[in-house]
């Protein structure tokens, strides 16, 4: 077996038994990338020599000692490229520092290995907005892997990585995890430091794990969580032992089923799989309760106002002076305009324009301010719901992975498919996608994920429930 086929715990066992060294593991992962990634496009780059140098003095007794982790291309790892799958940065920016998540991984003995493909600056749900190259779903190469952390999900699913980190602003960990049949966990806002992530929408972004098992997700989350003096939005709360939630009984756990998430637009075959997973939980003694999240219908509009507004401000720094691509021009304004016009892709430009519009004087009250008020209503919906239930179960995405090109000419159709994931980011709560079956389409078996949402800092509940689904 190639080390890339292993989960984190299997790899750690192989190290303990002396069957493998971290250098062996890195070399075999590199050979599996060589063999398979040409068709998939999950990696933008990987540097075996750099990783081998790091593996040389790794302490195997640490919790992630010698475990290679693939990193989404917007998370800074010192000495590695960080291009955000954008032409404005790729080949022109090497991280001079570690993000807090990568620092914590390294302190736990992990080796950041490989930069994963993504939608440019994390804007998208299909990876078709990558400014560098397409990424394909390992279960059907004609289909999207999901996005924006499509590469991170694809490399874990294709067994060209043991585990990966992604980020989730409106579903970008959970949705590709669902489409690729892996586990993806979005931590509660503030659970994990955002220091060193290239910001898309700062009030929504969170980094989290994409893994082969729920136990691996718990272990990675454990490692990257906790307060950070470099991110004032990172919460000081103590980090519980997430791995202790694995294997805990779900008897008596109250599971809310939001009626708005099982309504029109949901593919009946996806629904069937999701309902079967929920039945599994109730057979184990969990109690299901119908709930309502009445402001769901406003979530997509609210998200695409707030996220674009924040993005338009965050991406102002890419001006051709401080970072990345630098266009030739005679005066400063032309220089800014040309650098950005040449460097950014269409979707990024669309979002900057939308975001600038909703923040402009005269429209601010009608769009941005109103969206902030609706965001509070959405958050209140969840607060009410969590008075009655411990976790909320739903689909992750209304359909299985669609064909490459199917929705790329219709941005609105793409945005609407984010309906089940984005509210969690607006409310700041945590969520996980755990594989719950497959749907047969066009000769392929396409994975379906069950989404479990937990209250803010309620990761233990969703890990416990997700593990019960996984254990079947
Ligand atoms: N699909 C959503 C968007 O395009 C979410 C992206 C994300 O979570 N980074 O904005």
Q: Is the pLDDT of residue 409 over 90?
A: no
C-alpha 201 – ligand 1 centre gap (Å): 10
Residues 283-290 have a mean pLDDT of 98
Which of the listed residues 418, 426, 431 should we mutate to test ligand 1's pocket, taking the one with most ligand atoms within 8 A of CB?
A: 418
C-alpha 452 – ligand 1 centre gap (Å): 18
The structural domain count of the chain equals 1
Quote the pLDDT of residue 77.
Answer: 98
Percent of the chain scoring above 90 in pLDDT: 97
Q: Would you place residue 197 in the very low, low, confident or very high pLDDT band (cuts 50, 70, 90)?
A: very high
Which of the listed residues 117, 123, 299 should we mutate to test ligand 1's pocket, taking the one with most ligand atoms within 8 A of CB?
A: 123
pTM (two decimals): 0.98
For residue 414, which atom of ligand 1 is closest to its CA? 1
Q: Is residue 289 part of a domain?
A: no
Q: Would you place residue 346 in the very low, low, confident or very high pLDDT band (cuts 50, 70, 90)?
A: very high
Name which residue sits closest to atom 10 of ligand 1, judged by CA.
Answer: 123
Quote the pLDDT of residue 472.
Answer: 86
Q: Rounded to the nearest 5°, which phi and psi values hold at 227? A: -60, 155
Q: Are 320 and 339 in contact (CB under 8 A)?
A: yes
CB of 117 shorter than 6 A to ligand 1 = no
DSSP string, 208-274: EEEESSHHHHHHHHHHHBS--TT-TTS--PPPP-GGGGTT---TT-EEEEEGGGGSTTS-HHHHHHH
Quote the pLDDT of residue 143.
Answer: 98
Average pLDDT, the chain: 97
Q: Give the Cβ contact number of residue 124 at 10 Å.
A: 27
Q: Is the pLDDT of residue 408 over 90?
A: no
CB of 417 shorter than 6 A to ligand 1 = no
Q: Is residue 238 part of a domain?
A: yes
Which of the listed residues 74, 75, 121, 147 should we mutate to test ligand 1's pocket, taking the one with most ligand atoms within 8 A of CB?
A: 147
CB of 172 shorter than 6 A to ligand 1 = yes
CB of 307 shorter than 6 A to ligand 1 = yes
Q: Is residue 365 part of a domain?
A: no
pLDDT tens across 288-330, in order?
Answer: 999 999 999 999 999 999 999 999 999 999 999 999 999 999 9
Beta sheet of 111-116, edge-to-edge order: 43-45, 111-116, 68-72, 164-168, 206-211, 183-186, 430-441, 444-454, 391-395, 254-258, 287-291
What 3-state DSSP class applies to 60?
coil
For residue 418, which atom of ligand 1 is closest to its CA? 1
CB of 29 shorter than 6 A to ligand 1 = no
CB of 123 shorter than 6 A to ligand 1 = yes
CB of 421 shorter than 6 A to ligand 1 = no
pLDDT tens across 224-280, in order?
Answer: 999 999 999 999 999 999 999 999 999 999 999 999 999 999 999 999 999 999 999
Q: Is residue 237 part of a domain?
A: yes
In angstroms, how far is the first alpha carbon of the chain from the final one?
25
Q: Is residue 345 part of a domain?
A: no
C-alpha 82 – ligand 1 centre gap (Å): 19
Q: What is the CATH number of the domain that holds 77?
A: 3.90.1300.10
CB of 125 shorter than 6 A to ligand 1 = yes
Quote the pLDDT of residue 365.
Answer: 94
- How far, in Å, CA of 417 to CA of 351, rounded? 17
For residue 304, which atom of ligand 1 is closest to its CA? 10
Quote the pLDDT of residue 127.
Answer: 98
Give the distance between the most distant pair of CA atoms in the chain.
71
Which of the listed residues 172, 203, 345, 348 should we mutate to test ligand 1's pocket, taking the one with most ligand atoms within 8 A of CB?
A: 172
Q: Tokens representing 247?
A: 């294997």
What is the domain range of residue 176? 3-245
Q: Is residue 222 part of a domain?
A: yes
Q: Is residue 398 part of a domain?
A: no
Active site residues: 72, 148, 172
CB of 296 shorter than 6 A to ligand 1 = no
- How far, in Å, CA of 388 to CA of 253, rounded? 11
Q: Is the pLDDT of residue 1 over 90?
A: no
Measured in whole angstroms, how far is the alpha carbon of residue 180 from the centre of its chain? Answer: 12
Q: Is the pLDDT of residue 470 over 90?
A: yes
- How far, in Å, CA of 119 to CA of 148, rounded? 5
Q: Tokens representing 43?
A: 């990696």
Q: Is the pLDDT of residue 151 over 90?
A: yes
Q: Is the pLDDT of residue 103 over 80?
A: yes
Q: Is residue 15 part of a domain?
A: yes
């Amino acid at each position: 077996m190639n080390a890339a086929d292993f989960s984190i715990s299997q790899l750690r066992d192989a190290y303990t038994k002396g069957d493998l060294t971290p250098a062996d593991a890195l070399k075999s992962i590199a050979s599996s990338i060589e063999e398979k990634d040409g068709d998939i496009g999950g990696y933008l780059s990987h540097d075996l020599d750099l990783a081998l140098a790091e593996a040389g003095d790794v302490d195997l007794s640490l919790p992630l000692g010698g475990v290679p982790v693939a990193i989404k291309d917007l998370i800074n790892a010192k000495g590695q490229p960080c291009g955000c799958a954008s032409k404005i940065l790729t080949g022109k920016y090497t991280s001079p520092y570690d993000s807090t998540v990568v620092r914590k991984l390294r302190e736990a003995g992990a080796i950041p290995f490989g930069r994963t493909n993504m939608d440019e600056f994390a804007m998208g749900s299909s990876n078709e907005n990558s400014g560098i190259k397409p990424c394909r779903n390992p279960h059907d190469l004609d289909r999207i892997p999901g996005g924006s952390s499509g590469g991170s999900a694809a490399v874990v699913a294709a067994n060209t990585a043991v585990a990966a980190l992604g980020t989730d602003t409106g579903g970008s960990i959970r949705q590709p995890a669902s489409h690729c049949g892996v586990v993806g966990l979005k931590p509660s806002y503030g659970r994990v430091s955002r220091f060193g992530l290239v910001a898309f929408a700062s009030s929504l972004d969170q980094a989290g794990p994409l893994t082969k098992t729920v136990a691996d997700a718990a272990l990675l989350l454990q490692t990257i969580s906790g307060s950070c003096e470099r991110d004032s939005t990172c919460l000081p709360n103590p980090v519980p032992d997430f791995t202790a939630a694995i294997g805990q009984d779900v008897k008596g756990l109250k599971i809310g089923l939001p009626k708005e998430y099982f309504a029109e637009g949901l593919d009946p075959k996806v629904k069937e799989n999701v309902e079967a997973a929920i039945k599994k939980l109730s057979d184990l003694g969990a109690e299901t309760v119908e709930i309502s999240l009445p402001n769901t219908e406003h979530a997509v509009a609210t998200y695409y106002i707030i996220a674009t507004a924040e993005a338009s401000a965050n991406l102002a720094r890419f001006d051709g002076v401080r970072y990345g691509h630098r266009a030739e021009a005679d005066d400063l304004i032309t220089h800014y305009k040309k650098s950005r016009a040449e460097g950014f892709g269409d979707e990024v430009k669309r979002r900057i324009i939308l975001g600038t519009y909703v923040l402009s004087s005269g429209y601010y009250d009608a769009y941005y301010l109103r969206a902030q008020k609706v965001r509070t209503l959405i958050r209140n919906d969840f607060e009410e719901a969590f008075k009655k239930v411990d976790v909320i179960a739903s689909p992750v995405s209304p359909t299985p992975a669609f064909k490459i090109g199917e929705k790329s000419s219709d941005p609105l159709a793409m945005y609407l498919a984010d309906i089940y994931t984005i509210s969690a980011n607006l409310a700041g709560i945590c969520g996980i996608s755990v594989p719950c079956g497959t749907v047969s389409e066009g000769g392929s078996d396409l994975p379906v994920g069950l989404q479990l949402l937990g209250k803010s800092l309620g990761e233990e509940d969703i890990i416990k429930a997700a593990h019960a689904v996984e254990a079947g």
